[in-house]
Chains A and B, each alone.
Chain A
Amino acid sequence: MSEMKKIKNLKEFSTSADRFEGANLLCPGCAHSIIVREVLNATNDDLVLAASTGCLEVCTAVYPYTSWDASWIHIGFENGSTAVAGAETMYKALKTKGRLKQPDRTPKFVAFGGDGASYDIGFQWISGCMERNHDMMYVVLDNEVYANTGGQRSSSTPIGSSATTTPAGSISYGEKINKKDMMGIMGAHHIPYAAQVAPNKWKDMVKKIQKGFATEGAVFINAVSPCTTEWKFDPKDTMHIADLATDTLVFPLYEIIDGRQYNITYRPKNVVPVEEYLAAQGRFKHLFKDQYKYLIKEWQERVDENWAYLQRREEAKV
């Protein structure tokens, strides 16, 4: 195991030499790249990266340009996880066989995918990688929508969100089905480490990513990624929306150790009403019409209930 990079504070973190480059094609204000930077800058070890088809992939490797300073692979929409698992398996084989070119390195294997690639089309591939416990990290850039194809609902899209395939209209409030509990499902794989993170809580994120890198075996990370284009807010407000996501507890930050031990890692001093989170985004605008206002109340109840559940799980240590 390599020595963990020392990151006491933001000043120290800012001495990192990024291994992800600008002039990529992501939207101005996209949270994906903020998350990617925080993940990559959490280590100085060599990296072997993969991405499933999606915003991050189509915006960072459009020939003849690459925005990646470490080896990177994309195969298809569903198999970024398995791409990196294959590379990790080859690393193990070549290590055993004494054929690594730089045997002293301690590379980290990381795959990125959007919620479409992770909650939906690539779900089985991720499940396989986690079950086989490859020494890898899978990071979901969870923007709760198929953003790359223009805003269709995914199984991560929350109730009441207007997506292009579940549009709000005169007789519809948009998405009717609640977001899939991917963290719970990954926890049920009894992988050594799973965590939910948010880019605005950089320290919490870096700590978890470092914990993930130090873990031998499969690591799952779900990162909330506010999407200026599909959530419909001004690009400058990305971090403000992320703050609302964590401080309303819509995206609680926690980790699951070995599928059993839940640890809540962030308890907002002042919990913000969910209504403020919803009001800040165009995708929920219709909920503020009289006929749908009851949904805002239901939203708050769901978030409260989930927070209570997480606390019970944490306390019960089971």
Chain B
Amino acid sequence: MENKGWDEFEIGAMLRTFDGSVDNIAGTKQEDRSYSENSSYRASVADWRLIKPVFNKDYCIDCQFCWVYCPDVSIVSRDKKMVGIDMDHCKGCGVCVEVCPTNPKSLLMFGEHADEETEIAQWPSKDEEK
């Protein structure tokens, strides 16, 4: 939000999460919500990242561990399926990779500037020791 003058915002430093009226937020997915410009959903922390997770859906078993343990609501799951990563909100902590139980993992960390397609093409194979 642009830096407004003292007479241009609502009193009490109060913020509204949504534009207009909402009904049943707990039953509405993010993409269907009318977030206001004051919701951090509309902000990005992508520039915090030095490393980023890459998702390889070939190995994913949709266990949802990454979804439940993501601190940043950045694992997008729809209809019980892991769909992808919200790269605007991912801070690159790497928790999702650690909790991923598949072998090889379906999520791995790479440098922020790594090319996703290249990395998926070179994905490690099954680790027989595990």
Contacts and interface: CB of A to CB of B under 8 A. Distances in A.
Interface of A: 10-26, 28-34, 37-38, 43-46, 60-61, 63-70, 199-200, 202, 228, 234-240
B102 interface: no
B30 A237 contact: no
Say whether chain A's binding surface is mostly helix, strand, loop, or mixed: loop
Interface residues of B, number: 51
Contact of B68 (A25, A202, A228): A202
Given A11-B80, A65-B38, A34 B26 contact: no
B73 A236 contact: no
* Residue picked from A10, A23, A66, A70, most chain B C-beta under 10 Å: A23
Nearest to A9: B64
A255 B72 CA distance: 28
B15 A44 contact: no
A34 B48 CA distance: 19
A33 B45 CA distance: 15
Closest 9 pairs (CB-CB, A-B): A22-B89, A236-B94, A29-B93, A28-B93, A28-B91, A23-B43, A44-B26, A14-B64, A235-B93
A34 B69 CA distance: 6
B1 interface: yes
Contacts of A24: 40, 72
Contact of A29 (B44, B45, B71, B80): B71
A239 B89 contact: no
Contact of A44 (B27, B38, B64): B27
B39 A65 contact: yes
Contacts of B63: 10-11
Contact of B80 (A14, A45, A60): A14
A66 B38 contact: yes
A67 B15 contact: no
